[in-house]
Chain A
Amino acid sequence: MGSSSFLTGTNAFKGVLLAALLTLPLLGFSDYVLHIAISILLWAFVYTSWSIMGRFGLVSLGHGAFLGIGAYGTTMLWNHYGLTPWVGIPISIVLSGILGLLIGLPCFRFKITGHYFALVTLALTEVARLLIVALRDHTGGSLGVTPVGMVSPENPVSFYALQFASKSVWFYIVVGVWLVGLLIWRAVDRSMLRYAMEAISQEEDASASVGINVTRTKLTVTVISAAMTAFGGAVYGQYQQYINPETVSGIAISLQIVFAVIAGGMFVQLGPTVGAVITILLGEGLRLGFGNQFHGLDVTIYGLMLILFIIYMPRGVLGKAIDAFAARTAPPRVQPGE
Chain B
Amino acid sequence: MGSMLQVRDLTKRFGGFTAVDRIGFDLDEGEILGLIGPNGSGKSTTFNLIAGALAPTGGSIVLDGREIGGKSPTEVCHMGIARTYQIPRPFRKLTVLENVAVAAYYGANSLISRSEAWRRAEEALALTRLPNDPSVRVDGLGAAGLKKLELARALATQPRLLLADESLGGLDEQEMDQAADMLSDIRREKGITIIWVEHIMGVLMRVVDRCVVLDHGEVIASGLPHDVAHDPKVVEVYLGSDAETIQTQVAGRRASAETGTEAAVC
Contacts and interface: CB of A to CB of B under 8 A. Distances in A.
Given A196-B106, A334-B139, A209 B91 contact: no
A234 to B, nearest CB: 34
Chain B CB within 10 A, most for which of A211, A212, A333: A211
A334 B74 CA distance: 29
Interface in B113-135: 114, 117
B51 interface: yes
A199 interface: yes
Interface stretch (B14-22, B93-101, B211-219): B93-101
Contacts of A212: 74, 102, 106
Given A198-B93, A203-B91, A210 B107 contact: yes
A195 B74 contact: no
Contacts of B92: 202, 334
B148 to A, nearest CB: 15
Contacts of B93: 198, 201-202, 336
B122 to A, nearest CB: 16
Interface stretch (B61-69, B78-86, B240-248): B78-86
Contacts of B105: 192, 195
A210 B89 contact: no
A114 B236 CA distance: 47
Nearest to B139: A334
B11 interface: no
A7 interface: no
B94 A214 contact: no
Interface in A107-146: none
B154 interface: yes
Contacts of A201: 93
Contacts of B91: 198-199, 202-203, 206-207
A221 to B, nearest CB: 15
B101 A195 contact: yes
Contact of A209 (B53, B114, B117): B53
B94 A210 contact: no
A209 B102 contact: no
A254 to B, nearest CB: 26
Interface in A166-202: 192, 195-196, 198-199, 201-202
A21 interface: no
Interface of A: 192, 195-196, 198-199, 201-203, 205-214, 333-334, 336
Given A203-B89, A208-B74, A210-B153, 14 more contacts: A195-B101, A195-B102, A195-B105, A198-B93, A199-B91, A199-B94, A202-B91, A202-B92, A205-B73, A206-B89, A210-B107, A211-B107, A211-B157, A214-B74
